[in-house]
Structure 1
Amino acid sequence: MKTRIPALVAGTLVAITLGALPAAATGHSGPVSLRGTHADGATYAIEVPRRWNGTLLTYSPGYGRGAGPEGAPAALAGNDQARQWLLAHGYALAGTRPFGDGWVVEEALRDAAHTLAVVDRVAGRPSATLAWGASMGGEVVAGLAELRPDLVDGALPYCGSVAGPVAMQNQAFDAAFAVTTLLSTPVKLSGFASAEEEAAVVAEVRSALDQAQPTAAGRARIALAASFAQISPWSVPGTPEPGARDWAAQEAQQYAAFTSTAFSPRYPLEQRAGGKFSWNTGVDYRRELRESGRLEQVRALYAQAGIDLDADLDQLAAAPRTQADPGAVAYMARHFTPSGRLAVPVLTVHTKGDNFPTVTQARAYSDAVARAGRAALLRETFVDGPGHCTYSGAELLAAVLTLEHRVKTGAWTGATAPALNRLAADLAEDDPGLGGSGFIELRPGRFLRPFTWPTGAPRT
């Protein structure tokens, strides 16, 4: 019996035909199918196929329900079609779900290492270990790429919060501050006493937004506030992209995404950090608007409404500001704000219309990597469309194979949108269930509130 294993050669998907060799011929044992629980309550899953090719992918999940009596078990991947393809083609998979809910980055970094130790024990040391993860899991993977080069050889953060939690939450805070100020909605934006108090605030703001949206002045002010969070003008999955100058349609998309983007849960993160970690002292909102990429839209909507943009910017400048607790900032920075000091190759995937994180986080990440002198280790890729973590199996596999090629050859062959689309199309031709591909060439605009953890500061 023969097995055909797709592989990257000079940027093209080709088939390598292997005979029915025993697992020992690759130096790795299999099959292994294992589920377990670490000492701290985190769960893990490991699958090693009988004919393991030596490469392991270790998966970190996004923000949400953690392990525990009522939590979800560990997953091996974030896409079922990709998971099936990888196992069928000789790749071993591992996944870890930390115990507890919410922003469990501290635990996730530790528990991923524990899971890899189990793989070594039950199946042998992989010839290559690739870390991949979605959303918050993408940030965990970025952390492994900097902190644990002894454990991973490459990293694939997709739809990942790679600007770090401090920058991401400051960006959201700016939009929340602006909209509540401009819509005269005096609510608390941080320092909540309970999740219920925060939920009540969000409901009040949502009501104010709903009342403002039918009016021209309300739409203009929502667009201004959205510019500070760089909320995408194409945010709603399943809808066509608004025209480049269709300001009203773009604002409607921003309005639809505003509450979930600017008011993502803050209370559980502050509880974990021990205080307020967002601030807007010293922020110049005029400059933020100029650099947001949304200035033309905002000016047009203000002109249509017949209201004074300068007056609203003056109001924001005069409004009371919020300071952060340095200790809380330090906690969130340690868990985890990328410094850019990559120790292994990293390939990121972002969606153009994502808001969790916004695509400009990719720019913040590449800027940090460049400042650290590690640009040769990073490639960033982008998929056309709105929504969060909505990648097809073919898109994810194309990224995985491209990263694997970089790890094994030292060359970033095929890490361009045309090459990734060709590779994804070849994969889908053999397995139509993997879906289509929409990689595009994109240079994101500047991220407005970058934050890099100080060089040399303790981070673990």
Structure 2
Amino acid sequence: MTRVEGTLPSGGRYLIEVPATWHGTLLVWSPGYVSAAGRPASDAPDGTTRQWLLDHGYALAGSQPATIGWAVADIMPDAVATLDKAATRFGPAQRTIAWGASMGGQVTAGLAQARPDRIDGALPLCGSVAGPVAMLNAFLDSNWALKQLVAPRSDLELVHVSDENTRQQKGKALLDSAQVTAQGRARIALAASFSQLSTWSVITDPRPAPRDYEAQEAQQYQAFLSGAMAPRQPLEQRAGGNFSWNTGVDYGSLLARSGRSKEVAALYEKAGLSLKKDLATLAASPRIDADPSAVDYMRRNITPTGEISDPVLTLNETGDNAPTVVQASAYAAAVRSKGDQRLLRQAFVDRPGHCGYTPSEVIASLLTLERRVTTGLWPSTNARTLGRLAARVDADSPLDLGTAGFVNSRPDAMLRPYLPASK
């Protein structure tokens, strides 16, 4: 195997690994969100998956941006520059597949949209495929509603964040104080419904029963801080302002479409609260406007329009909250709106958590996408077929690739998708 590392013109790092017997497929990996500088470049989600791929003739490439945080604007050009390095050193690939996890999954969807000249297929893993505007609007809805109903005089910063650490501390204190009362728990559930936080969020906990609404709310409470209150300040710094708004939003309508209305109604009844009154409070509360230039930055870096010309297979966990699984629905709707649905397939793994895939799940998804790239025809992407493929791959390998938890799923529609015009 040949391993090449170096520095890109941007200052980012790149890594390329080519096995002695390369069958022609090159995988270009985009990394997720990092909060500390100095990390080396990676070319796969984990060491086991990397080893399996190299053992089976795949060439791997990946980069790590010079900057930290929401570095989408840096990672996308770095991915292309890494492909240039690979082509110069090893010659052109027969086929190139982009893949990445979390923020890197969003970048992967962005490459499918913006650089079809450089890739032949895309595998976004646990990615924000509805784009940052829709995701952060949903999170604003939850944070804004919680503040209005639980602590309207709180100085918790919702937008234009000046100190993220202080924001996180105040947000946690607000959540913790609400969680100790039945009234507070009902309002947390209502706020969580607006960003459609999963009712099964904690990896170590069993799935709550369908009508165990208290257990479902407990899961949302534990996910709220890392999900709906995820760091905002680094994104606003890059965008140059606030990119989220809730002007004109009907929160009663959002609740009715959220898939959480029964849970919320039951908890409000148990707490002796008037849901109608709280929704009226939200309707009468002052709203937040966005900075158009900041929205435009997030559109460019990058909000999928749904236009694709190469096959894309998305993989999401049903209990993920960063992003929520409903982003897959928004992405599918965007692709359908452009008439490109024949190029898209979506797969799901039934577990909570973020990007916690087993190597067998990732490899089975990759093999399925590669077959579509090479043959022009999609193989079956239902859960049973993917599960069998994952089991077969694991059984044939000396590596421990883990078991697969694929499930057929149809997530709820995202409440406030953002589909910009193509530019």
Within 5 A, what are the aligned runs for 1:131-170? 131-170=98-137
Q: What does residue 355 of structure 1 align with? A: 321
Within the alignment, does 1:200 sit opposite 2:166 as a pair? yes
Task: Give the letter for the 1:284 counterpart.
Answer: D
Query: Which residue of 247, 250, 258 corresponds with 2:216?
Result: 250
Q: Aligned AA for 2:56? A: H
String of CA shifts for 1:36-70, please: whole Å, max 9, x gaps: 0012111000000000010011100111146xxx4
How far did 1:99 drift? 1.2
TM superposition shift of 1:205: 2.2
- Aligned partner of 1:380 among 346, 351, 362: 346
Alpha-carbon displacement from aligned partner over 1:5-53 (angstroms, at most 9, x marks no partner): xxxxxxxxxxxxxxxxxxxxxxxxxx42101001211100000000001
Pick from 327, 331, 337: which aligns with 1:365?
Answer: 331
Q: CA deviation at 1:188?
A: 2.2
Q: Which residue of 2 aligns with 1:190?
A: 159
Where does residue 25 of structure 1 map in the other structure? none
- Residue 51 of structure 2 corresponds to residue 84 of structure 1: yes
Matches for 1:404-443 after TM superposition, within 5 Å: 404-431=370-397, 433-443=400-410
- After superposing the two structures, state which structure 1 stretch, 227-236 or 411-420, moved more: 411-420
Is residue 2:257 matched to residue 1:291? yes
User: Is the 8 Å Cα contact of residues 65 and 72 (structure 1) preserved in structure 2?
Assistant: no
Please report the TM-score for the alignment, with normalisation by the length of structure 2. 0.98
1:168-212 Cα shifts (integer Å, max 9, x gaps): 00000000001111111422211123xxx2321221121121112
Identity value in percent: 52
Match of 2:187 among 214, 221, 230: 221
Partners of 1:426 and 1:103 in 2: CA distance:
37
Name the aligned partner's letter for residue 27 of structure 2.
L
For 1:174 and 1:200, locate their aligned partners in 2 and report how far apart those are by CA, in whole Å. 20
- Aligned pair 1:337/2:306, yes or no? no
SS in 1 for 2:3: strand
Give 3-state SS (helix, strand or coil) of 2:267's partner: helix
User: For each residue in 1:142-164, what CA deviation from the matched residue of structure 2 results, as whole angstroms up to 9, or x when unmatched?
Assistant: 01111111110000001000000
Q: Find the counterpart in structure 1 of residue 14 from structure 2.
A: 44
Partner of 1:107: 74
What is the one-letter code of the residue matched to 1:92? A
CA offsets 1:378-406 (integer angstroms, 9 cap, x no match): 00000001000000000000000000000
Distance 1:425 1:227 in 2: 36
Give deviations 1:310-339, integer Å, cap 9, x for gaps.
110011111111000000000011100000
Structure 2 CA distance for aligned equivalents of residues 89 and 446 of structure 1: 38
Separation in 2, partners of 1:76, 1:280: 39
- Residue in structure 1 matching 2:247, options 271, 281, 287: 281
Give the aligned partner of residue 301 of structure 1.
267
Q: Is the 8 A contact 2:319 2:325 kept in 1?
A: yes
> How much has 1:98 moved relative to structure 2?
1.2
Tell me the residue number matched to 1:21.
none
Query: After superposition, what is the alpha-carbon deviation per residue over 1:68-94, rounded to whole angstroms, capped at 9, x for unaligned?
Result: xx4101101112211100001110000
Query: 1:180·1:205 contact (CA, 8 Å) conserved in 2?
Result: no
Q: Distance in 2 between matches of 1:65 and 1:275?
A: 20
Contact 1:65 1:100 in 2 (8 A): no
Counterpart amino acid of 1:259? L
Paired position in structure 1 for 2:293: 327
Asked if 1:98 is matched to 2:65, the reply is: yes
Tell me, which stretches of 5 or more residues in structure 1 are unaligned? 1-30
User: Which TM-score applies when normalising by structure 1?
Assistant: 0.90
Structure 2 gaps, min length 5: none
Query: Secondary structure at the residue paired with 2:318?
Result: strand
Asked whether the equivalents of residues 391 and 403 of structure 2 are also in contact (C-alpha less than 8 Å), the reply is: yes
After TM superposition, the runs of 4+ consecutive aligned structure 1 residues lying more than 2 A away are 185-188
